[in-house]
Amino acid sequence: MKDGFLRVAAVAPEMRVCDVDFNVKKIIEVMDKLEDEGVETAVFPELCITGYTCGDLFMDRTLLNSAAAGLEKIVEASRGRNVDVIVGVPVEISGALYNCAAFVHDGEKTLVAKTYLPTYSEFYERRWFAPAQPEMSCGIFESHGAKIGIEICEDLWATVPPSSRMALEGAQVIFNLSASDDVIGKNGYLMQLIAQQSGRCLCGYVYASAGFGESTTDVVYLPKTVIAENGSVIACNDRRKFLEHPVTIADMDIEAINHDRRHTSTFAECQRNEIGETVAVPFTVGGESASDLKYRKVDAHPFVPSEDTILDERCIEIATIQECGLARRLNAVGSNRIVVGISGGLDSTLALLVAHRTVKALGGDVKDIIGVTMPGFGTTSRTYDNALKMMTLLGITIMEIPIGKAVMQHFSDIGQDPDKHDVTYENSQARERTQILMDLSNRLGGIVLGTGDLSELALGWATYNGDQMSMYGVNAGVPKTLVKYLVRWYAQTCENKELHDTLMSVVETPISPELTPPDEHGNIEQKTESFVGPYELSDFFLYYMLRYGFTPRRVYRLARKAFDGKYDGATILKWMKTFYRRFFTQQFKRSCMPDGPKVGSVSLSPRGDWRMPSDASSAVWLKEVELLEREL
Those residues with Cβ within 8 angstroms of residue 564's Cβ, 6 or more apart along the chain or in another chain: none
DSSP annotation string for 101-164: EEEEETTEEEEEE-S----STT--GGGT-PPPPGGG---EEEETTEEEEEEETHHHHSSS-HHH
Closest C-alpha to 70, from 26, 32, 7: 26
- Convert the pLDDT of each residue in 610-626 to its tens digit: 999 999 999 999 999 99
- pLDDT of residue 425 exceeding 90, the answer is yes
Handedness of CA 303, 309, 312, 317 (dihedral sign): negative
In the prediction, which pLDDT does 283 show? 58
Phi, psi (5° rounding) for residue 112?
Answer: -130, 130
- pLDDT of residue 18 exceeding 80, the answer is yes
Which is more confident, 565 or 286? 565
Other CB atoms within 10 Å distance of the CB of residue 250: 26
- Convert the pLDDT of each residue in 281-328 to its tens digit: 665 554 445 678 999 999 999 999 776 667 788 899 999 999 999 999
Residue 238 carries which side chain, given as an amino acid letter? D
- Convert the pLDDT of each residue in 120-132 to its tens digit: 988 989 999 999 8
- pLDDT of residue 178 exceeding 70, the answer is yes
In the prediction, which pLDDT does 413 show? 97
Q: With cut-offs at 50, 70 and 90, classify the pLDDT of residue 137.
A: low
- pLDDT of residue 115 exceeding 60, the answer is yes
Contact 536, 522 (CB under 8 A): no
Which is more confident, 326 or 134? 326
Return the active site residues.
Answer: 46, 114, 153
Q: What is the percent of the chain where pLDDT is above 90?
A: 86
Query: What's the predicted TM-score (pTM) here?
Result: 0.90
DSSP annotation string for 381-427: HHHHHHHHHHHHHHT-EEEE---HHHHHHHHHHHT--TT--SHHHHH
In the prediction, which pLDDT does 313 show? 87
- Convert the pLDDT of each residue in 181-210 to its tens digit: 999 999 999 999 999 999 999 999 999 999
Long-range contacts of 21-26 (CB under 8 A, 24+ apart): 21/66, 21/70, 23/48, 23/49, 23/50, 23/51, 23/70, 24/49, 24/70, 24/73, 24/74, 26/245
In the prediction, which pLDDT does 290 show? 61
Closest C-alpha to 538, from 367, 371, 303: 303
DSSP annotation string for 265-322: HHHHHHHHHHHSS--------S-SS----TT----S-TTS-SSHHHHHHHHHHHHHHH
